[in-house]
Amino acid sequence: MLFLEIIRVALGSLRSNPMRSGLTMLGVIIGVAAVITMVALGTGAQSAVEERIQSLGSDLLTVRGGFTMSFGPARSRSQTLTTDDATAILEGTTSVTAVVPEYEGNAQIEMGNNNLNTEVLGTWANWAEVNNWELEAGRFFNQVEAEGRRRVAVLGYEVAEQLIPTNVDPVGANVRIRGISFEVLGVLAAKGAGFGPTSQDEIVVIPLSTAQWRVFGNDRLSSMTVRMADESMMNMAMAEIEVILRRQHRLRPDQDNDFFIASQSQFMDLMAESSQTFTLLLAGIASVSLIVGGIGIMNIMLVSVTERTREIGIRKAIGATRGSIQQQFLIEAIVLSCVGGGLGVALAVFASNAMSEQLGWTMVIPTDAVILSFGFAALIGVVFGFYPAMRASRLDPIESLRFE
């Protein structure tokens, strides 16, 4: 039987039952769309991380408080860094030109009837300069305000947008953080998407001393950003910081560090890696739905074979071989899964565009994910179409012709 003829027959029989064909394809459509969208989400997150790595100064190091063992079953992450450590690093090293201590916490922030829960960052006055943040409006707080535990705040772009009514000038406005009144000094320029759904612009920056003493009641630090005089001093800076912190924390030679130091790009690499794992996980879950779609195809093809027993009998009586009957039904299944796969790709493109427009997430659809998931859909057509096609080809012509 000529190949084109088989495809024509397959399309004809699918067209003759459009409702059923559509519902059968739905499983594959959703499966393919889910796989591609998930991969697009993950790849988007990864590319956002990579973009950030490039925008970061390569002369920055991050120091974080590490894990410390405590007796008993509990193993807690403790905040081991203090403001004194920051001062000690700045004074005790030659390779370091700036230290920016940071305390991160979440707090409820209100203005009038508006309120939202967002990240509050306590830091020094040099934070914006070291991290290359521009200001949209107003100014950053200065050293006097920072050391004087003043209740002043700089809002991230997104926070200002959501919290401050449009007819109010954010600069000079009063907001309440955990019920404490703060004066808004400025608004940070927008930096855009961070990792997946989190935006870098959802942040409120206040002086470190205010955060520690007035808001969170904690004298520890979450992390420190350290700027070196020159990129080439990376190893030297890391060694110097380690010596100073071990001395500050009075660690004996046999004790492990209770902090760790990495360049910012190393941290980003780590995040990129974890987002990749996440992508694979999501794609794996989505491909399960693709397989379920394949089972749907098999189910419908089996029904179709039974329904068309008589047709098979006629075709066999006038000279169809087993092979040509098998091909006919196999190609029908493949057409189902390929058309479903194509529609799934279209749906994925549509969904990704909608998500990046409506939610502002970075979505990148990689070509190989499209090819791979489409190929997988076609393969599913072959695998799950094979058994029904074989059943059809083995039908006895005499019995089939008698079938009502």
Q: Which residues are near another protein by CB under 8 A?
A: 1-2, 5, 12-13, 16, 310-311, 313-324, 394, 396-398, 401
Nearest distance in Å: CB 357, another protein: 44
Question: Closer to another protein at the Cβ: 147 or 396?
Answer: 396
Question: Closer to another protein at the Cβ: 63 or 331?
Answer: 331
Nearest distance in Å: CB 315, another protein: 7
The answer to whether residues 53 and 268 touch, using CB atoms and an 8 Å cutoff, is yes
DSSP 248: H
Question: Closer to another protein at the Cβ: 168 or 398?
Answer: 398
Question: Closer to another protein at the Cβ: 86 or 320?
Answer: 320
Nearest distance in Å: CB 352, another protein: 39
- Read off φ and ψ for residue 183, nearest 5 degrees: -95, 135
The residue type of 82 is T
Bridge partners (DSSP) of residue 96 are 228
Nearest distance in Å: CB 328, another protein: 11
Question: Closer to another protein at the Cβ: 245 or 320?
Answer: 320
3-state secondary structure at position 350: helix
Nearest distance in Å: CB 48, another protein: 53
Nearest distance in Å: CB 311, another protein: 6
Q: Name the residue among 210, 51, 206, 224 with its Cα closest to residue 119.
A: 206
The Cα 360–Cα 301 span in angstroms is 42
Q: Name the residue among 325, 292, 314, 291 with its Cα closest to residue 10.
A: 325
Nearest distance in Å: CB 342, another protein: 24
Question: Closer to another protein at the Cβ: 291 or 401?
Answer: 401
Question: Closer to another protein at the Cβ: 12 or 172?
Answer: 12
Question: Closer to another protein at the Cβ: 128 or 312?
Answer: 312
Pairing of strands 203-207, 114-123: parallel
Burial class (CB in 10 A: 0-12, 13-18, 19+), 37: buried
Nearest distance in Å: CB 394, another protein: 7
396: CB partners within 8 A, 6+ apart: none
Question: Closer to another protein at the Cβ: 26 or 390?
Answer: 390
Q: Is the dihedral of CA 13, 18, 19, 25 positive or negative?
A: positive
C-alpha separations of 340 from 22, 24, 36, 262, 375 in Å: 8, 9, 14, 47, 12
Question: Closer to another protein at the Cβ: 2 or 19?
Answer: 2
C-alpha separations of 156 from 118, 159, 239, 290, 358 in Å: 10, 5, 34, 41, 20
Q: Which two tokens stand for residue 381?
A: 């057509």
Pairing of strands 180-188, 135-138: antiparallel
Show the DSSP H helices in 249-366 as ranges. Answer: 264-307, 309-317, 322-358
Nearest distance in Å: CB 395, another protein: 8
The Cα 243–Cα 259 span in angstroms is 12
Nearest distance in Å: CB 11, another protein: 12
